[in-house]
A and B are shown apart, each in its own frame.
Chain A
Amino acid sequence: MNGPALLYRVAVFALGVAMLAVTYWLYSPGVRGPAMLDDYSSLERLEYLKQAPEEAWDYVLGDSSGPLGRSVSIASFVGEQLLGAGGVASAKRVNIVIHLLTGTCVAWFFYLLLAAHGTPLRATAAILFAGFWLLTPLQVSTVLYLVQRMAQLAALFCLLALISYLYWRRSLAARTPRHRYLLLAILAFAAGLFSKENALVTLPLLLLLEACWLQFRDDQGRTIHWLRRFTWIAICGGALAVGVLLLLYWGKLTTMYTSREFTLEQRLLTEPRILWDYVAQFYWPDVARMSIFHDDYTVSTSLRHPATTLPALLAWFALLASIALAWRWPFARRLALGPLFFLAGQSLESSVWPLELYFEHRNYLPGVGLALLPMALYAGLAERWREVGKPLLAWLVFALAWVASLTSSQVQVWSSAPLLAMQQSNAHPDSARASRGMATQLATVGAVDAALEYSGRAYTAALANPAAGDEHHGDYIMRNIALACIAGKPLSYSQYSELGRVEPGRPLGDVATISVVIQLQQENRCPDFDWNGFLDHLHSLYLQRFDTSLASANVFTALAMLSNAQQRWEDAYAYTARSLALLPGRHRELLMQLHFVSALGREDERKSLIVQLKALRDAGKLSRGERDTLALYPEG
């Protein structure tokens, strides 16, 4: 290697290191930020792992976040908990490091793409375009939202699969195929699937990569015919299969929407608008509007309501039509990879499934396609006119500085729980969740009146916005109880007895807020609250007769826990009995019931439950923790 070439390599390496260092520096204040939303439900149990490390595998294999269990992601949390410092800050730091690793893979992927066409300054360009992906503020709500490590790892493995494929293709193009790279791609794909199911999009991405960018060519520019046939058969077959499956399961899909306040059709009408919004937020970020809460997003109820629905839809169709029309030109195909990568990346979470409508973290992997689009444009221009290469990259550095400054401010907001709550509430004043967050912040500083006012706004917003999902009036009152306790000014009888006034046939809808109240009670953080009066009130709502239609099994279980915390065993027993009546044989509820009958001295039931649980244990159906709990209850 000659002197200038060596110098160039050193400079490129230094640029890459500098990019990663700057990204880490920008994100590092974010470790001070709070845990939020699904972090609790997905990760709170991990706190107890240090006391019982032997239960690690139970955690890894027992996750129920998705159909495949997301074991790889949970393993990362478990490993970090066991080997690292633990805690939110440590976990966020790991997320930042994963972001850097993923950014490195994006740069690597881009470099291989550019190398395939001999683009000038390809290493520098790859690092800088990957830098845009690394530094754009849209990524903040993935990187600093703990549980979204799942999305990060899925993206990381997907990129590794794409990179492996590119190496395999390189060897194939040179007529010396090395199939071990394909094996690596498959392994990465599998790891991605067990991180988060989104990694399934790796398959269409591989096909698009071949069809759009590599264009079935070998090193001499000849077409590899079998590869072309295979790719097109896979693309057409895949599209056909998806179409047939949709036709077959359309009805089932529609029924899955019963838990949502919007229909499948409404979701399909709304998502094109949201996708354009993602695109805008990626290229021209409006950080004041960014948030994890978008439950105030207006649902499209028809092509004309809101008015942007039809234009958004038409714009996507126009884009796809332009791609189809321009397909005959190789450069246009390369340019098409970016938008198609984005759409394919969004195809799982922004299409037919009854998920929430809008989440910024859904752009983590699809954003690679958005960074790829300008890179393809750069490649086309720089290959045609070499003189524009350097100034275009210099402009890109300027753009990087701009997005970095936006990201740094967004990270600052995310580094403080109160600021984050305030920003979310400002950005989305009609968001029920943002108002709840604000209410909580106000409660923590004792501002109970203001907290209850925001809680009321949250309730009203939840009823008004289909994207938010209706809230039970009882859940609202339960939240007020929690807020008032946190603020140190508990609700009076006249306030908490409102629970059940509206919707008496189903007073409570959700367990999450009850869980908070249970924890407040267990930790004795609300000693002045009239717990017994409140439990009497709940008793009057739920236990007058054996009616399992009054709540879900989980709500009954939660009420049992609440009664248990106040040592009201009879009530706890009665709630658990209703829960088991709804969902018989649940291990946790059986163990709870064992505890309650033991406390009540009901020997026959106790023995019967022990027998039942031991049978489950012997069948290997109890987890390590459940087995340990059962062992606390001797048969005699």
Chain B
Amino acid sequence: MPPSLSRAHVVSLLLLLLLTGILYAPGLGGPFFFDDGPALTANHSLRIDGSEADDWRTASFSSNSGPLHRPLAMLSFTANAVISGSIRAFPIKSVNLLVHLACGVLVFGFARAVLARAGGPLGGSALNWTALLAAALWLLAPLQVSTVLYAVQRMTGLAALFMLAGLLLFMRYRELWARRGAGVGEVAGVVLWLALLTLLATLSKENGVLLVWLVPVLEVSLFRGQWAGREIPWLRRLGWAALLAPLVLVGLVLWLSPGILLSSYPGREFTLTERLLTQLRLLWQYIGWIVYPDINSMGFQHDDIPLSKGWLHPVTTLLSGVAWVAVIAVSLLLRRAQPLLLFAVLFYLVGQSMESSIWPLEMVYEHRNYLPSVGLVILLAAMAAALFPGIRVVRPAVPVFAVLAVCCTLLFLRVFSWSDPFRLSIVNAENHPDSARSQFFLAHEYLREHSRALRRGESNEELGNYLIQARHHFELMYQKDPRDMAAIVMLYYLDQYNFPDLQQYNDWFAILQALAKDRRLQASDISALDALLECFEAHACKASRQEFLGLMDTLQGRYPRSIYLAMLRYRYLKANGMTPEQRLAFLQDAHEKWPNDKQVYEQLLVEYANQRDAAGVYLTIKQWLGDDSSRQQLGVMRRLFVLPEGGSAGAQVTAGKTGVAP
């Protein structure tokens, strides 16, 4: 059992939380980024006053992230939006910070329990100070900025909060059971709590399900079948079986039905093998960022990290793979002498197993380390506690405070750069000059600055400078990644509208047409095409109808099931003289192909309403209601029938027993 806490420990923990809060405070008013758009700022379901219960339901399920829609995290965002009256960065990021601080407290408790169980030279007050050091390393790690100040990553924070609560609960009871055993009721009670916490974590973000896998990590690394003061072999074996079972299960599923996994990879510019090889290196890179927080190599985008095309391309792939095998082997060999090593390695790998393995997600994200880093900081703290007392020339507290001071400084600097979108984009582009996305975001910031300067009435020279900078960075982006449509579209847009003289040097539309033949469309490409269409809708872009439709033909030929492309074509045709009858026919055809699509329903309703076809409107809504099995669009449909209290509108007629009744 961990030793009891003294007042000094509690006060130090509170001071640590206060310090963390102070360091993060400048970043709380910072901007929204990237995925914050679809989940928060552009999410109409969150624009509610909160008076109707069902609005909370639809808002809670309004995220398109993950198969479960992450309702618990979205519920917390809904509460933020209702209390603030809108989606504002400060209150949302403040809650993120509170979640982070709460996680920090749990990390402290968890570290105490783990260190106590792992044994070793630490005891009494030293163990609590070591746990506090672990919590400090975790709370103050600059790597966590991209979780805490990236609004939508509250999903990660909440999932980690519930998982840490579950892990702490397990440690507390398992420690008791190791010493005195337990009855059925106590075990069942803990299992029920763990299951509930797993569910809550999973409803925050799907990673939460890993709590079920992390429990066997604790069992095999720290408890090893200990029960009522002795080691029970079958319990130890059960722990290992539980640890290996998910691997076997996933392996079986993929072996029997590989399509589950492989069907998603055509949407990516890398293969499954490339992802797995690259992740071997990235897992070391993440550890590097935790152990040696070089904030210059951190960033929001990491698309400059090269893919591993084979074991020797680059050669660090092989080295990383060998290193992982070695580390796992060593930790297994030393599992009794150094249980913390096995704990930290397994905790880290299992914690990363969802996002850094086989699934076709984006390659790199810093926030993926939020929970997995907990095991590492506990190991680091334990190593520091073991190391510093051995150095006689310095007092142990000195290097500890020095490390923490460095962490604080780096954290402050990183938070400072995250507090302003323009500053963050510049820092990212400077630190990652080979990152196409960093160039893109910086170019966008210049365009925003241009808009702001326009409103301020600045001189044409100033305005021109912003546009030149924006174009420059779009061009840099194109050079770094000539296959990303976003840069080409924006360059086409800018040259058509702002730099007509440059059109003679580059035929961006032709480049786009060529790219359309073999580019695997990403979400960013769809957004780029959307921007292109806005240009055409505003009649700012001059490509001929034939050229644009040719581009769409190419893309739709490759992606015949893409509703996005179909609706882009519809918007273009609508803006270019399509008759109401043709529009309706187009939409009815689209509705047949994509029967449940919200966009098609909305456009159909608009068309029927324009044509004053009441039957069309009613029957379309009826069908939409039937197709919307989760009733996610119910609020939208309800608002189409705003009725006075107490009855039906119109002829005041509704269904009676015989069909019609006044």
Contacts and interface: CB of A to CB of B under 8 A. Distances in A.
B650 interface: yes
B185 A384 contact: yes
A444 B653 contact: yes
Contacts of A434: 655
B651 A444 contact: yes
Q: Give the interface size class of chain B.
A: 35 or more
B184 interface: yes
A444 B654 CA distance: 8
Interface stretch (B312-320, B362-370, B629-637): B629-637
A398 interface: yes
B186 A35 contact: no
Interface stretch (A87-95, A317-325, A534-542): A87-95
A395 B196 contact: yes
B648 interface: yes
B328 interface: no
B341 to A, nearest CB: 33
Contacts of A386: 185
B646 A32 contact: yes
A426 B622 contact: yes
Contact of B638 (A415, A437, A441): A415
B193 to A, nearest CB: 5
Nearest to A511: B658
Contacts of B615: 442, 445, 447, 449-450
Given A394-B193, A520-B662, A288 B638 contact: no
A385 B638 contact: no
A61 to B, nearest CB: 24
Contacts of B398: none
A183 interface: no
Interface string A442-465: 111111011000010010000000
Contacts of A392: 192
Most A Cβ at <10 Å: residue of B54, B625, B648: B648
Interface in A23-50: 25-26, 29, 31-32, 34-38, 40-41
Interface stretch (A105-113, A238-246, A255-263, A403-411): A403-411
Interface in A348-405: 384-388, 390-392, 394-395, 398, 404-405
Given A388-B188, A391-B189, A486-B660, A412 B638 contact: yes
User: Interface SS of chain A: helix, strand, loop or mixed?
Assistant: helix
A128 to B, nearest CB: 14
A326 to B, nearest CB: 21
B659 interface: yes
Nearest to A426: B626
A412 B629 CA distance: 14
B523 interface: no
B657 A385 contact: no
B647 A519 contact: no
Contact of A32 (B185, B188, B645, B655): B645
Contacts of B635: 412
B629 A387 contact: no
A418 B637 CA distance: 10
A440 B655 contact: yes
Contacts of B655: 36-37, 421, 424, 433-434, 436-438, 440-441
Interface string A411-429: 1110111110111111000
A199 B291 CA distance: 72
A35 B618 contact: no
A386 B618 CA distance: 55
Given A40-B657, A40-B661, A385 B183 contact: yes
A519 B655 CA distance: 15
A433 B656 CA distance: 8
Interface string A539-562: 000000000000000000000000
Interface string A173-217: 000000000000000000000000000000000000000000000
Contacts of A40: 656-657, 661-662
A482 B660 contact: yes
Contact of A37 (B186, B653, B657): B657
Contacts of A525: 651
B643 A445 contact: no
Most A Cβ at <10 Å: residue of B56, B647, B657, B659: B659
B606 interface: no
Contacts of A437: 654-655, 659
A380 B297 CA distance: 59
B82 to A, nearest CB: 13
Interface in A466-509: 475, 479, 482-483, 486
Given A388-B189, A409-B634, A439 B659 contact: yes
Nearest to B193: A391
Contacts of B641: 416-419
Contacts of A458: 659
A447 B622 contact: no
B619 A450 contact: yes
A417 B183 contact: no
A422 B657 contact: no
A101 interface: no
Contacts of A423: 625
A563 interface: no
Contacts of A32: 643-646
Most B Cβ at <10 Å: residue of A88, A385, A439: A385
A398 B199 contact: yes
Contact of A390 (B189, B199, B634, B638): B189
Interface in B94-138: none
B54 A412 contact: yes
A447 B614 contact: yes
A50 to B, nearest CB: 15
B196 A288 contact: no
A86 to B, nearest CB: 9
Contact of B53 (A408, A441, A443, A446): A408
17 contacts: A29-B52, A32-B646, A35-B654, A37-B657, A288-B629, A384-B185, A387-B185, A391-B196, A394-B192, A413-B634, A419-B621, A440-B659, A444-B651, A447-B614, A479-B659, A512-B661, A513-B660
Given A32-B645, A34-B648, A449-B615, 4 more contacts: A87-B646, A287-B631, A388-B188, A417-B648
Interface of A: 22, 25-26, 29, 31-32, 34-38, 40-41, 87-90, 287-288, 384-388, 390-392, 394-395, 398, 404-405, 408-409, 411-413, 415-419, 421-426, 433-434, 436-447, 449-450, 455, 458, 475, 479, 482-483, 486, 510, 512-513, 515-516, 519-520, 523, 525
Interface of B: 52-54, 56-57, 60, 183-186, 188-190, 192-193, 195-196, 199, 614-615, 617-619, 621-622, 625-626, 629, 631, 634-635, 637-638, 641, 643-651, 653-662
